[in-house]
Structure 1
Amino acid sequence: MALKQALFLQLFFLLSACGSAEQEYIWKEKEVTVSAYNSTPAQTDRRPDIGAWGDTLKPGAKVVAVSRDLIELGLDYDTQVKIKGLDGIYRVRDKTHGRWRNTIDVYMGLDVARAKEWGRKRVKIKYRIKKDTIPNTN
């Protein structure tokens, strides 16, 4: 009986901790220009499989590159991102060239045809940030 109670208490505290951690985050929404890119030297540089933060990008990974102005809004390294029209949750693991603004590039591995098919479009995204890190935009 004591073992059951101990297990119940451990499970209760574990689930409570998970719930409170989730409450520390919110999903913000923003409309951005979304394009796609591939890990080819023609589209990136001589190390096309390495992201701006040093991550190795592998085909099939749900990764996005963000413009620097979006980093200032909270889309920093490893931020979770949902993109309208694409399934799943992506992670910020790369940056676009400094000339781009309000832009996200979706990593599509070596599938150049898929990236071209996606093209460039204005899309709503949602990104997950901690409540206490919301920048003041006034």
Structure 2
Amino acid sequence: MLVSLLCFSLSGAALATERTDEVVKLKVTATAYNSLPGQTVGNPSIGAWGHRLKPGMKAIAVSRDLLAMGLEPGAEVTIEGLPGRYKVLDKMGSRWRKKIDIYMGVDRDAALEWGRRPVVIRFNSENS
């Protein structure tokens, strides 16, 4: 009986320490990019981790410091002021900090119109 209670107690303790998601809210600089030659390194339709980028996708590239904060490949992000959820499918060069690049297909004019602006992003970060 004591062994049964001990096992029950330990299994309850394990449940109490399971990983949970925490919503992270972060102000970053947002620019836009296209899958056009000259705007990316290599094939302009392939992201840094091999994801194929297609016009109409809601995708972003992130600065490497954001990767360390939990924005891993495939993570979903909301961008304040824009509808829907965006997937992290690309990463930026190492010189950038707290920055995202919003994928705008082949619409260069839309990317230029977006320009550079501060935005607030939200994403889930796992804690232990």
Q: State the TM-score, normalized to the length of structure 2.
A: 0.81
Structure 1 segments (4+ residues) deviating >4 Å: none
Query: How big is each residue's C-alpha offset from its partner over 1:56-107, in whole Å with a ceiling of 9 and x where there is no partner?
Result: 0011111100000110111111111000121100010100111111100000
- 1:100-122 CA-to-partner distances (Å, cap 9, x unmatched) read 11100000000111111111111
Which moves more between the two structures, 46-55 or 122-131? 122-131
Q: Percent identity?
A: 48
Name the aligned partner's letter for residue 34 of structure 2: N
Q: How do 1:18-57 residues align onto structure 2 when only pairs under 5 Å count?
A: 24-57=20-53
- For the aligned residue pairs, the C-alpha RMSD in angstroms reads 1.3
User: Larger relative CO (CA 8 A, sep 6+): 1 or 2?
Assistant: 2
Higher strand share: 2
1:26 CA displacement: 2.6
Identify unmatched segments of 5+ residues in structure 2.
1-18
User: Is the helix fraction higher in 1 or 2?
Assistant: 1
**Within 5 A, what are the aligned runs for 1:1-138?**
24-132=20-128
Aligned to 2:110, the other structure's residue is in SS state helix
- Residue 46 (structure 1) shift: 3.3
Gapped regions of structure 1 (runs ≥ 5): 1-22, 133-138
Question: Which has more radius of gyration?
Answer: 2
Instruction: Give the whole-Å Cα distance in 2 for the aligned partners of 1:129 and 1:101.
Output: 18
Paired positions, count: 110
